[in-house]
Structure 1
Amino acid sequence: MDPWEAAFLVIATIGSVGVAVGAWFQEKRRSATHLAAVQRKLDLIMDHLGIAEPVEPDVVRHLENGQTIHAVRAYRRQTGTSLVEAKQAVDRIASRLHSER
């Protein structure tokens, strides 16, 4: 095999792998965006129906003690959500707790 052919084969292989990885990342990003949209819609439906999301007692206890950061950590442990999503959920839970009082 000619060295130029070998170099071309290596470059073509690297390019093919790069395209495949790029497509995979794009699909992953699209799936995450779609999942976030579905989650927002589900949250709106639950709010409209007055259905409260189940909350770990630790989250409520931390909020009652004024420990928002600990509540967010407990919520993340319970649900596996991102930091931003957990903070938003804990804020919703806190506002619901304050409105009940």
Structure 2
Amino acid sequence: MTVFVDIGALADIPAQGARLVKTAQGCIAVFRTADDRVFALDDRCPHKGGPLSEGIVHGTSVTCPLHNWVFDMNTGAAQGADDGAVRTYDIRVQQGRILIDASLIRANRAA
């Protein structure tokens, strides 16, 4: 069973905007669409390492701010002729709060 942890309010992310969440797995971009759907992807574009959290959100896609690669936020796959993908993460909204898979917050190594 996946355990989720609260990372903030939906209202903290503007519609068609993003926020960066630092986790034990690395930086994750959390996106909010115009219709309040929420997605979580690796923040680093596989092409040149552009910060996807600074990209343009349109529908359920995000465009990298460096070289315009477009990623489907449902799957993480690059769209069009571009070859590549970013990892997606389990995320949900409950009672106006954004919840992400708690395993992302835990460190990869023993203390």
Tell me which interval the TM-score lies in, with the shorter structure as reference length: under 0.3
Task: Tell me which protein shows more helix as a share of its residues.
Answer: 1
Give the structure-1-normalised TM-score: 0.23
Q: Which has the higher strand share?
A: 2
Structure with more contact order per residue of length (Cα contacts < 8 Å, sep ≥ 6): 2
Structure with higher Rg: it is 1
